[in-house]
């Protein structure tokens, strides 16, 4: 699959980048740290991270990042957030609640639309696009990215687009990082499954509506890279399908839901027997939908993580675990693969075909003790947060039954700022990055 350039067109982002570019010559110490935190551009923050990290103490940087930026009153209602992919102008839209005040953090719903096979969006001169299939919600932000026939939800360009849009929203509005969740309808629901398997760090919960995970198994769809159903364990799932849906009937999704459950994946499956490929069920389902969200705030530093990938340049991280080098080792662990599909007693086929070797890591943290079980991995990076690990005591790491680390890990302000620039997250800050080789 070809990789295309990704360009941000929004004026306020460009302005933020300009401020960041000026910072090295005029700011130092605490002033530079303030500019880093308040900056409107992720790129400028990444550029400044190393320089600022050398000028401030860890404790100063930690307190400032925890406090976050000073949000001000901003525009509410419909906010256009144009980007570009494959040369097309993507007319992404953000809905800001009328009652927004910057003094408290607000939930954000990222909503993926259906019908991604449409032609490229126009030049931007046409009337504002209608937000079709929108389901009403409470007092929350709703981000509507745009996809089209060459920029579907399961492409690398869209993974970048969605991540960049969420970052821009967080830099401008006070968003609750623990309540950012992903939902979508039809093709958008299928896109939810893809992002949950490939890029899940952001999401508190994943809610595919009228989607189907087996669509991604079709080679003609062009899903980027290999898919690992086991990765769904990291994002609580609530799927809704209609019994009379002519495209994706609930009966065809049910065997896959059962496969997920047998693999230990947390999934709630709601079927409306009389519903078609529509959201006629929403008035009945809304209370259940919102109750599910209330029970699933994101855990920034989960005690258990499982992640599988075939590459280390992308799709190689879930929160505090980063796969940095692939390759088999004599100590490899044998894992049971969730990627099995048993639609009938006499037939057993894999859901997702894979041609490249992959690596998997299962990490468990208990206090300062971290246990890793790996297969097909030579090295991982563990991102250590003082919110989860006591860095005044030794960190003990065991890999495939062998202890590989038992020592203090120093706090590093440059590491703290490096990951803060990437994540832009007050609740997910890392004081150290510990590289661990697999014996």
pLDDT (tens, 9 = 90+) of the chain, 439 residues, equals: 333 443 333 333 333 333 334 334 445 678 899 999 998 889 889 999 989 989 999 999 999 999 999 999 999 999 999 999 888 899 999 999 999 999 999 999 999 999 999 888 876 666 677 776 667 777 899 999 999 999 999 999 999 999 999 999 999 999 999 999 999 999 999 999 999 999 999 999 999 999 999 999 999 999 999 999 999 999 999 999 999 999 999 999 999 999 999 889 989 999 999 999 999 999 999 999 999 999 999 999 999 999 999 999 999 999 999 999 999 999 999 998 888 776 655 556 788 988 999 999 999 999 999 999 999 999 999 999 999 999 999 999 999 999 999 999 999 999 999 999 999 999 999 999 999 999 9
3-state DSSP assignment of residue 395: strand
* Structure tokens that stand for 13 in this block: 């982002």
**How far apart, in whole angstroms, are the C-alpha atoms of residue 375 and residue 230?**
14
Task: Provide the angle, in degrees to the nearest 10, between the axes of the packed helices 156-172 and 11-26.
Answer: 70
Look up the pTM and report it. 0.91
**How far apart, in whole angstroms, are the C-alpha atoms of residue 377 and residue 395?**
21
3-state DSSP assignment of residue 414: helix
In 3D, which of 292, 155, 307, 300 has the Cα closest to residue 229? 307
* pLDDT in the model for residue 125: 63
The CATH classification of domain 77-294, taken from the options 3.40.50.720, 3.20.20.70, 3.40.50.450, 3.40.50.1820: 3.40.50.1820
3-state DSSP assignment of residue 324: strand
* pLDDT in the model for residue 133: 65
Contact by Cβ (8 Å): 382, 330: no
* Structure tokens that stand for 102 in this block: 């910057």
Domain positions in the chain: 6-56, 77-294, 304-437
* Structure tokens that stand for 221 in this block: 């769809």
* pLDDT in the model for residue 380: 98
Tell me which residue has tokens 């890990």: 409
* pLDDT in the model for residue 123: 63
* pLDDT in the model for residue 347: 56
* pLDDT in the model for residue 14: 32
CB within 8 Å of 127: residues ≥ 6 apart = none
* pLDDT in the model for residue 17: 36
* pLDDT in the model for residue 122: 76
Contact by Cβ (8 Å): 310, 326: yes
209 DSSP β-pair partners: 185, 240
Continuous segment of H or E residues that includes residue 349: strand 347-349
């Amino acid at each position: 699959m070809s990789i295309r350039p990704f360009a941000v067109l929004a004026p306020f982002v460009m302005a933020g980048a300009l401020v960041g570019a000026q910072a090295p010559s005029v700011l130092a110490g605490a002033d530079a740290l303030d500019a880093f935190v308040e900056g409107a551009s992720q790129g400028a923050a990444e550029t400044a991270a190393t320089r600022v990290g050398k000028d401030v103490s860890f404790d100063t940087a930690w307190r400032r990042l925890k406090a976050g930026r000073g949000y001000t009153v901003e525009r509410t209602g419909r906010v256009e957030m144009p980007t570009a992919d494959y040369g097309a102008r993507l007319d992404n839209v953000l809905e800001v609640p009328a009652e927004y005040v910057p003094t408290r953090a607000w939930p954000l719903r990222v909503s993926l639309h259906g019908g991604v096979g449409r032609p490229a969006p126009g030049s931007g001169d046409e009337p504002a696009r209608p937000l079709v299939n929108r389901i009403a919600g409470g007092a929350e932000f709703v981000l509507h990215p745009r996809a089209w026939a060459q920029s579907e939800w399961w492409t690398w360009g869209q993974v970048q687009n969605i991540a960049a849009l969420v970052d821009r929203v967080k830099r401008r509005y006070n968003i609750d990082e623990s309540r950012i969740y992903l939902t979508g309808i039809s093709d958008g629901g299928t896109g939810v499954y893809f992002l949950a398997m490939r890029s899940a760090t952001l999401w508190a919960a994943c809610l595919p509506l009228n989607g189907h995970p087996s669509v991604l198994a079709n080679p003609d769809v062009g899903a980027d890279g290999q898919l690992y159903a086991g990765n769904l364990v990291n994002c609580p799932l609530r799927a809704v399908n209609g019994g009379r849906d002519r495209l994706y009937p609930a009966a065809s999704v049910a065997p896959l839901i059962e496969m997920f459950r047998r693999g230990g994946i947390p999934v709630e499956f709601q079927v409306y027997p009389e519903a078609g490929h529509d959201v006629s069920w929403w008035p009945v389902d809304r209370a259940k939908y919102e109750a599910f969200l209330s029970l699933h705030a994101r855990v920034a530093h989960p005690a258990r993580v499982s992640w599988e990938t075939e590459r280390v340049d992308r799709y190689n991280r879930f929160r505090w675990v980063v796969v940095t080098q692939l390759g088999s080792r004599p100590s490899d662990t044998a894992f049971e693969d969730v990627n099995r599909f048993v639609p009938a007693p006499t037939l057993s086929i894999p859901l997702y075909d894979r041609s490249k070797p992959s690596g998997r890591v299962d990490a468990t943290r208990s206090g300062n003790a971290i246990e890793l079980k790996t297969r097909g991995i030579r090295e991982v990076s563990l991102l250590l947060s003082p919110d989860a690990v006591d860095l005044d005591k030794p960190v003990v790491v065991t890999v495939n039954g062998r202890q590989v680390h038992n020592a203090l890990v120093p706090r590093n302000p440059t590491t703290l700022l490096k990951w803060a620039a990437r994540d832009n997250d007050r609740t997910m800050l890392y004081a150290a990055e510990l590289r661990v080789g697999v014996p």
